[in-house]
Amino acid sequence: MNKVSKKTSESENKLSRRRFVAEAGMATASWMMLQPALVRGTQANARIKTGVIGLGGRGAWIARHLREHGGYEITAVADYFDEVVQEVGAELGVAQERRFSGLNGYKRLVDSQVEAVFCETPPYCFPDHVAEAVTAGCHVYVAKPLGCDVPGCLKIAAAAKQATANKQVFLCDFQTRTNEYYIEAVKRVQRGDIGAFTLLDVPGGSNGFKDPPLTDTIESRLRHLVWVNDVALGGGLNVNFDIHAVDVALWIAGKRPVSAMGCARRADTTAHGDAMRVFSLTYQFDGGLVLNQRTDHLQNLTSDIVCNAYGDKGYLESKYNGKVWIQSHKEPYRGGETGGIYQKGMQANVATFHRSVTQKNYDNPTVEPSINSTLATILGREAGRRNTELTWDAMIKENRRWEPNLRGLKA
């Protein structure tokens, strides 16, 4: 996990360096159903008692925004590393006895009677952390991707379904879906402004992530986004980074793919994690729509999140750190620049989460698309690793689990 900076970063132009990290925990959550009356509630005019799990760069950054927002009271914090939780906890004014560390710190945070939980840890933690929070009656705000493997994603989906039934808010933090230009462009494409879809295209990738030599335990992998390079901890680079663009593609398509095929390679002899760094993938959808993905995660100065859509009457171009617009024979759309989307998207989601809790809005619309996007990138990762075609149904049936080695870590 990162040391805490005193500056709030707006690093939308360096998304590949996002520093939301690390609180690791694998625990079996109770799955008993709560009655709606037992769900922890907040009056519309009251601040939401909130706990933040994971206090690396992004976690601490969001925690500071929660404090500035005014509608949240941070009453507990948790992080695997005690020095991090103490530093951030002191900065946020959290009582000493409500600063929790170690693998099971998240359990103590949930037990401290918070009303809402923000999950900003490595993704392998999310299924257990989310299930624990939902079972305790907490509202949940969770980062992407929602897991590293199929069992993790299915556990998240079950917890989110439980949350909705229990009248709890569950929000997944994708920034693009909050942006006015993306929203308008997708609406126009779906109404037919570029004609019938023929092709979706996802080029780009990140500039890589620091990947130092392995040590006796994975503790060293829990800092500075190193875990993104490990499939069992972070899902790998396709799942953790390329998901931004793949999510836009699925948003435009309005459905999930039925299969993926292609190949992938590490292409970096200095890497120590097991994640592939170069992908050439083709996803297929029912009805014949094709999605091409060509991404790399090498220190070659390329870092971009792009999704383009082509039809028989025009095309859409979208860039996370650039312009979203439509060229069309029917009705062009000038669109605009998405500047500041990394920060503005988070702020919009935090505001929506607060509004949903206080206004008792429990429809939780971000869950299904976020689960599908996570599973789609897992499908692509596995097809690329195996250099083969893999169907969605076969992936779900296989239900492969990636287990991190927690040996030697502090409970």
Q: Is 145 helix (H, G, I), strand (E, B) or coil?
A: coil
Would you say residue 405 lies in a domain?
no
Shared-domain flag, residues 120 and 190: no
Contact 21, 122 (CB under 8 A): yes
Residue 356: inside a domain, yes or no? no
Q: Which residue has the tokens 């596995």?
A: 382
Q: What is the CATH number of the domain that holds 153?
A: 3.40.50.720
Same domain, 376 and 239: yes
Same domain, 196 and 266: yes
Quick one: pLDDT at residue 396?
Answer: 98
What local confidence, expressed as pLDDT, does residue 301 receive?
84
For residue 355, is it within any domain? no
Residues 279 and 200 in one domain: yes
Q: Which tokens in the block code for residue 128?
A: 């257990």
Residue 148 phi/psi, 5-degree rounding, is -105, -15
Identify whether the C-beta of residue 139 lies closer than 8 Å to the C-beta of residue 353: yes
- Structural element, H or E, at residue 267: none
CA distance 405 to 136: 27
pLDDT of residue 72: 98
137 and 239 in a common domain: no
- Judge whether 68 and 74 are in contact, CB under 8 Å: no
Q: Are residues 35 and 114 in the same domain?
A: yes
Query: Are residues 230 and 322 located together in one domain of the fold?
Result: yes
What per-residue confidence (pLDDT) applies to 43? 58
Please, what is the angle between helix 150-165 and helix 367-386, to 10°? 170
Residue type present at position 16: S
Give the distance between the most distant pair of CA atoms in the chain: 63
What predicted TM-score, i.e. pTM, was given to this entire model? 0.89
Sequence-separated (6 or more) residues with CB below 8 Å from residue 351: 69
Do 262 and 133 share a structural domain?
A: no
Residues 45 and 156 in one domain: yes
220: in domain: yes
What sign has the CA pseudo-torsion 59, 62, 67, 71? Answer: negative
> How far, CA to CA in Å, does 349 sit from each of 173, 323, 324, 361?
6, 21, 20, 14
Instruction: Tell me if 208 is assigned to some domain.
Output: yes
Are 294 and 320 part of one and the same domain?
Answer: yes
Output the domain CATH number for residue 258: 3.30.360.10
Together in a domain, 131 and 263 = no
Cβ atoms of 303 and 315 closer than 8 Å: no
3-state helix, strand, coil in the chain (%, to 5): 40, 20, 40
Domain-located, residue 6 = no
206: in domain = yes
Could you report the average pLDDT of every consecutive run of 10 residues in the chain (411 residues)?
Answer: 39 36 33 38 76 96 97 98 98 98 98 98 98 98 97 98 98 97 98 96 93 96 95 97 98 98 94 96 97 94 92 97 96 96 97 98 98 98 98 98 96 95
162-177 confidence digits (pLDDT tens):
999 999 999 999 999 9
Q: Mind listing the pLDDT tens digit for each residue in 151-210?
A: 999 999 999 999 999 999 999 999 999 999 999 999 999 999 999 999 999 999 999 999
* Helix H or strand E segment including 79: strand 72-79
Q: Quote the domain boundaries for residue 152.
A: 12-174+361-365
* CA distance between the termini of the chain: 16
410, part of any domain: no
- Strand 304-311, strand 314-319: pairing: antiparallel
Residue 31: what pLDDT?
A: 29
170 and 188 assigned to the same domain: no
Output the CA–CA distances (angstroms, integers) from residue 79 to 100, 110, 134, 408, in the order listed.
7, 13, 19, 17
Tell me whether the omega of the peptide bond preceding residue 123 falls within 30 degrees of 0, making it cis.
Answer: no
Indicate the angle between helix axes 243-253 and 367-386, nearest 10 degrees: 120
Number of domain units in the chain: 2
